[in-house]
Amino acid sequence: MGRRLGVVGGQLPASLILIGTLLLAACQSGGQQPTASAARITIALGSEPTTLDPLARDDGNERAVTDNIYETLIKRTADGKLEPGLATAMPTQVNPTTWEFKLRRGIKFTDGEPLNADAVVATVQRVLDPSFKSEQLSFLGSITGAKKVDETTVDIISRDPNPLVPASMYWLRIAPPRALRDPNFASKPVGTGPYVLEQWVKGDHITLKANPNYWGPKPPIQEVTYRFVEEPGTRLSGLLNGEFDLIENLSPDDASRAPKVATVDGGQNSLVILNTMSGITADPRVRAALNYAVDKQALASKLFDGYATVENCQFMSPDWFGYNPSLQPIPYDPTRAKQLLQEANATGASIDLTSTSGRWLKDREETEAIADYWRAVGLKVNVSILEFNDYLNRLFDQKNRPQAIFLDHDNALFDASRTMDAYFARGGTGTSNNDPQLTQLVNAGDKELNQQARLQDYQQAAKIACDGSYFTFLVRLKDVYGLSKRLVWRPRTDGKIFVSEMRLTS
């Protein structure tokens, strides 16, 4: 009797991509590439990666680097379609809780270990190990393990029916068993990808070089250096003077000054997570007041110069599965905010707002603007801007939830399960509520195979979070990048920065 019940295509809706002034003109020599020795670029990140272990932290700076070292069983096209990566084809569903993946043959990690079922099993076991405390568990949903079938066949097993297993395997970077046991693995990455680590000078830069034994097409860029530059103005100056070839989070104020600009309707959604369990934010009237107090349209049009739109009382993008189109933005109404604070006897009360700087577009400025809006309706706001590593520790602190913590949330799965597992359901890595109905809906949606029923569960959960003001809902941002004149690159809807997709003109 055969194992397969059916093949799943895994295609998700694509976002509308808006490219700014991404010029594709060929050079005077007829568009020829620079020589290998000259194909070097420098990318400026907003802050230094906290680690190079691709399974540990939920750190976008780490991903910007390690996505070029490691690979995944499933990958995406630039516009969001799932397709095979290290797997030979999209997976097949063996039974409601088991998905079978076939691996490509002949691929080796850079330490010589083979890509095989053992590597996939070791990777899954590591990220699921409770003692490891991975911040990426929300990407895996109800996955409970992996089982080797043969050398190139592996089953991914979940506790409940899990329709998101194929998309989850786009997130999970595969590493070899021996390297995973190395105590220095976090600073000595070993992958199958097109680049290898050349050097990490803490506090200054990371350099990757092209993997000479890469199994796929050879990348046009032979070397990439990542510099850590928190200040947006410094990043722009480096771009203008030729020091950098790519800067992320280009300030909209500076877009006209950049040599080239590339934008895409990305998945960055800004919000403040509010602690519904203790402090003044446990009162729903206070949480509602915090939403009424903020002029989101002013943030979108003035702070972000039109490179943002107001959130419809949810921090999900319209093309993510689970988005609720019936929800509307909470209006700017400072008078109502003051009334609610008075009713809750919270006028003049203190609130702590935690954030970071340099990780997301205008994160510090948006945080300070929110604090000013809250002060204007009668609150005392204490703002803490933390280094990103310390910020992550606060964001994912399960025992002592922050009173209010700013976040720019994205979702590489394009599915509400990732968002809600992390920030809605009880036990999520960043959840600050204990609402049993919300948890029940999220858990039901995670294991529901009927897509219409899943959609209803997630949309109802989104409405509960909106009605209860569990978050301060802010704006959805475009991804804005500044490029040097010589760099040719098309941004992706998933926000990933794959250097192998870049090339230079002379």
User: Which of 337, 355, 366 is CA-nearest to residue 403?
Assistant: 355
Is residue 35 over pLDDT 70? no
| Backbone φ and ψ of 462, nearest 5° | -60, -40
- DSSP secondary structure, 231-284, as one string: -HHHHHHHHHTTS-SEESS--GGGTTTSSEEEEEEEEEEEEEEE-SSSSGGGSH
Whole-number pLDDT of residue 358:
87
Is residue 346 over pLDDT 60? yes
Distance CA(150)–CA(460), nearest Å, equals 42
- Asked if 117 and 151 count as a contact pair (C-beta separation under 8 A), the reply is yes
Is residue 30 over pLDDT 90? no
Confidence of residue 100 (pLDDT cuts 50, 70, 90): very high
Mean of the pLDDT values across residues 350-378? 96
Contacts of 36 (CB under 8 A, 6+ apart): 222
Whole-number pLDDT of residue 6:
36
Contacts of 440 (CB under 8 A, 6+ apart): none
User: Which of 312, 313, 295 is CA-nearest to residue 304?
Assistant: 295
Token pair of 73, please? 């069983």
Among 174-178, 330-334, 448-452, the minimum mean pLDDT is found in 448-452
Whole-number pLDDT of residue 149:
98
User: Which of 303, 327, 194 is CA-nearest to residue 253?
Assistant: 303
User: Which of 185, 191, 190, 227 is CA-nearest to residue 206?
Assistant: 227
Mean of the pLDDT values across residues 376-395? 96
Distance CA(16)–CA(266), nearest Å, equals 9
Strand pairing class (205-210; 223-228): antiparallel
**pLDDT cut 90: percent of the chain above it:** 81
Mean pLDDT of the chain: 91
Strand pairing class (350-356; 260-274): unpaired
Is residue 460 over pLDDT 50? yes
266-479 is a CATH 3.10.105.10 domain: yes
Mean of the pLDDT values across residues 158-170? 92
Confidence of residue 7 (pLDDT cuts 50, 70, 90): very low
User: Which of 395, 457, 456 is CA-nearest to residue 422?
Assistant: 395
Pairwise pLDDT comparison (265 vs 354), residue with the higher score: 354
Looking at the DSSP assignment, which residues form a beta bridge with residue 473? 271
Is residue 96 over pLDDT 80? yes
| pLDDT tens profile 205-252 | 999 999 999 999 999 999 999 999 989 899 999 999 999 999 998 988
pTM of the model: 0.79
Contacts of 80 (CB under 8 A, 6+ apart): 12, 13, 14, 15, 319, 414, 493, 494
Contacts of 281 (CB under 8 A, 6+ apart): 274, 275, 287, 290, 351, 403, 404
Mean of the pLDDT values across residues 192-201? 98
Domain boundaries, the chain: 266-479
* Number of other CB atoms surrounding residue 4 within 10 Å: 10
Whole-number pLDDT of residue 10:
38
Whole-number pLDDT of residue 153:
98
> Where are any strands of DSSP class E within 457-502?
471-483, 487-488
Confidence of residue 38 (pLDDT cuts 50, 70, 90): low
Distance CA(53)–CA(303), nearest Å, equals 34
Whole-number pLDDT of residue 13:
37
Rounded to an integer, what is the distance from CA 343 to the centroid of its chain? 38
Mean of the pLDDT values across residues 312-320? 93
Whole-number pLDDT of residue 4:
35
Is residue 27 over pLDDT 60? no
Whole-number pLDDT of residue 112:
97
Mean of the pLDDT values across residues 57-69? 95
| pLDDT tens profile 253-300 | 899 999 999 998 877 899 999 999 999 999 999 999 999 999 999 999
Burial class (CB in 10 A: 0-12, 13-18, 19+), 24: exposed
Token pair of 400, please? 């002592």
| pLDDT tens profile 64-88 | 999 999 999 999 998 788 999 999 9
